[in-house]
Amino acid sequence: MIMDPKKGLEFLQGLNLLPDNLDPRSVACFFRTFDFRDMNLDIALRIFLDTFRLPGESQKIQRVLEAFAESYFEQAPNILANKDAALLLSYSLIMLNTDQHNAQVKKKMSEEDFIRNNRKINGGDDLPRDFLTELYHSICENEIRMVPDQGGAGAVLTRSHWIGLTHKAKQTPPFIVSESGSHLDFDMFTILSGPAIAAISVVFDHAEQEDVLQSCIDGFLAIAKLSASYNLNEVLDDLIVSLCKFTTLLHPSFNESSILDFGDDTKAKMATVAVFTIANRYSDHIRLSWRNILDCILSLQKIGLLPARLASDATDELESSPDYDQVKTSATPSPAPQATVPSRKSSGLMGRFSLLLSLDAEEPAPQPSEEELAARQRTLQTIQNCHIDSIFAESKFLQAESLSQLVRALVVAARRPLKGNNSLEDEDTAVFCLELLIAITLNNRDRSCFYGKTFMSILPVLFNQLNASGESKCNADQISYGLEDNHILLSITARHPEASESGFETLSYIMSEGAHLSPANYVLCVNAARQFAESRVGHVDRSVKSLDLMAGSVVCLVTWFHQTKEAAGEEAAVKMSQDILEMWMRLIQSLRKVCVDHREEVRNHAIVLLQRCLTGVEGIRIPTDLWLQCFDLVIFTLLDELPELAQQQSPKDYRSMEGSMIFSLKLCPKHFYRPA
């Protein structure tokens, strides 16, 4: 920008926009740009003289004032009779300005002197005394400042400039109709979004009045709506990050003692509701800021303020289906009485899983005061207004990228140590994140390809973390109690190319050598192993290893059966024996299903292992009626199914089926005459 007037004229002359020799017509065109309508003479003169430097020669001054007087009289004649009256009065005002504001003039002109000097100038008549009095006081109180030669200095907003702007504002229509429509909205919002978030954040940070805070929240929500509308995901992430700072949930010192402060902090509660409102309304457009949202959720989970059904809502639909009921019924033998476990904060799908993290007795907590109860109630009401459970319950409607980022954020949060040294709080966090991941997986089981590998990568890490913890002696032994629902996930991963490896590692960790098998999770793990055995993912080797895991579990059944003799009471021993016999029956039925696999190696290996499981229970007394049931449901059924399967094969495959049928016939002689 050129600030020097002389250089500006030279620039315009170089572009041939102005002639080389400036003439009076150029000056006249400049004078015609002024709008003096409905403007007093003193104001018009101020604006006029404030736009250029008045020349020093009296002859040039006279010509300039003559041009001004002519222009003013044409636009605002008012009470002036002609342009000569405007010229004489303008000269008089300039002389009055010099008289009143020049320090060298000792005797100042009075009001009467000014009125007397302007007699008979209006076409031979006097101007109204009130008019002249107003002009006199205006000049005396506010000097007309002549514009100096500013050279390269920047323009200064003077009083005359301000008066001119206000005058133009009064004459400008209140609305300007744009013909561009909404073509520039995206570009404008892209430029303004960052400064707008920063500006609203500053006001929100310093404001105390609730109406001002609500206006800021409305502004945040408006920015979120526009960001989602224009698919500006980074802007939405920045907004969420800014809002999360106001929730106070991310402060390192936030704990149960902070509930009282949070319940009384209007600003923090409004920011918290705003964060989760955005997360529910515009979740499709959230990317990296899922981590900040989850940090807020984990802070609430740490002090037990989350809804009780946060994760279980995602499994209700599944649990109510007939397929799930069938699986649950077939997979769960009659449970043995369990010891009472102290109450924990975690709830939902993995509630029982969380309970196993600490089996030590908890000291009774001190009774809270009425003030603390009221603060907690206010906090709970705020959390209820957040509808946090809807984020995960409605995850099945999320776009793929947002869903993937949410799952990735949960995995990162589960792996991130809070206290270090495998603390109990770290375990709680990891299990809670796993609980949410299960809820998301069950809600999105039809599109697990987007996140299956990421999700399954956390399971071995979680199990190893819990196994390494010394907080509870029996954590590792009972880690799989929660698999009543998790085996569904393992069944899903069995057929997922990317997640199957991690899923099989998890299952192997539980079942290898019966290290972490228990009567409560036995049938669940056997069913999951059968899914891996029947799956074509991982090729034949994985199917064979899955069958080995199933057959190897017979050792656990024998061990548990011998332990029933030490059970307290005959009734309890009988009940436990019946449960073990039921588990054995489930095992051989599962093996029988794999015995009709189309792959020869898998089929024959399953038949061999079925025979081993039938003969490897010498330490268990199996009643005659159960053996009859075994022949009817397992051996005879298999002998019927194999010929039917052989008839469906090609001649080449039929020869391989003959070997399988020979293997299956060997099951009868060894067990038909088995003594009861």
What average pLDDT does range 11-40 have in this prediction? 75
Looking at residue 567, its pLDDT comes to 62
Q: State mean pLDDT over 13-31.
A: 72
Q: What is the pLDDT of residue 153?
A: 46
Cα–Cα distance, 236 to 297 (Å, whole number) = 19
Residue 630 lies in a domain: no
Residue pointed to by tokens 């229970």: 617
Asked whether residue 137 is domain-assigned, the answer is yes
Q: What pLDDT was estimated at residue 196?
A: 96
Of residues 570 and 318, more confidently modeled: 570
Decide if pLDDT at 271 tops 90.
yes
Q: How high is the pLDDT of residue 221?
A: 97
10, 57, 111, 571: the catalytic one is 57
Tell me: pLDDT of 597 over 50: yes
- Is residue 43 predicted with pLDDT exceeding 50? yes
Confidence band of 295 (pLDDT split at 50, 70, 90): very high
Residue 125 scores a pLDDT above 80: yes
Q: Which of 258, 235, 257 is nearest to 248 (CA)?
A: 258
Higher pLDDT, 211 or 348: 211
pLDDT band of 328, cuts 50, 70, 90 = very low
Q: How far apart are CA 90 and CA 78, in angstroms?
A: 15
Say if residue 571's pLDDT is above 60. yes
The mean pLDDT of the chain is 77
More confident residue, 529 or 496: 529
Give residue 320's pLDDT: 43
Identify the residue with better confidence: 366 or 44.
44
pLDDT for 424: 59
pLDDT, one tens digit per residue, over 418-472 is: 555 445 566 778 878 888 888 888 888 777 665 556 555 555 555 555 444 434 3
Average pLDDT over residues 593-617: 86
Task: Please answer whether residues 442 and 318 qualify as being in contact, where contact means their C-beta atoms are separated by less than 8 angstroms.
Answer: yes
Per-residue pLDDT, averaged over 619-624, amounts to 81
Give the mean model confidence (pLDDT) for residues 560-587. 81
Residue 148: inside a domain: yes
**Which has more confidence, 355 or 160?**
160
The answer to whether residue 75 is domain-embedded is yes
Residue 479: pLDDT band with limits 50, 70, 90: very low
Residue 546 is assigned to a structural domain of this protein? no
More confident position, 440 or 256: 440
In which domain, by residue range, is 138 found?
Answer: 34-171
In angstroms, rounded to a whole number, what is the distance separating the alpha carbons of residues 175 and 318?
A: 57
Q: Is 256's pLDDT higher than 60? A: yes
Residue with more model confidence, 661 or 396: 396
Spatial contact of 116 and 159, defined as CB atoms under 8 Å apart? no
Tell whether the model's pLDDT for residue 31 goes beyond 80.
no
pLDDT, residue 34, reads: 81
pLDDT value for 510 = 86
Q: Which helix (H) or strand (E) holds 152?
A: none
**Per-residue b or e along 136-173, where b marks 16 or more CB atoms closer than 10 Å to that residue's CB:** bebbbeeebeebeeeeeeeeeeeebeebbeebeeeeee
In the structure, what pLDDT confidence band is assigned to residue 309 with cuts at 50, 70 and 90? low
How many structural domains is the chain composed of? 1
Least confident of 191-205, 453-467, 602-616: 453-467
Taking residues 513-520, what's their average pLDDT? 84
Q: Is residue 52 part of a domain?
A: yes
| Residue 66 designated active-site | no
Flag whether 622 is in a domain: no
Among all chains, which residue has been given the structure tokens 């033998």? Answer: 333
Whether the Cβ atoms of residue 472 and residue 354 lie closer than 8 Å to each other: no
pLDDT at 568 over 70: no
Q: Check whether 483 has a pLDDT greater than 50.
A: no
Percent of the chain having pLDDT more than 90?
24
**According to the model, what pLDDT value does residue 244 have?**
96
Q: Residue 489: pLDDT band by 50, 70, 90 thresholds?
A: low
* 288-316: average pLDDT: 79
Mean pLDDT for 641-670 is 71
The rounded distance, in Å, linking the Cα atoms of 31 and 28 is 5
Tell me how long the chain is. Answer: 676
Helix, strand, coil percentages for the chain (3-state, nearest 5): 70, 0, 30
Query: What pTM was computed for the model?
Result: 0.50
Q: What is the CATH number of the domain that holds 150?
A: 1.10.1000.11
Distance of CA 241 to CAs 197, 200, 223, 274, Å?
11, 14, 13, 12
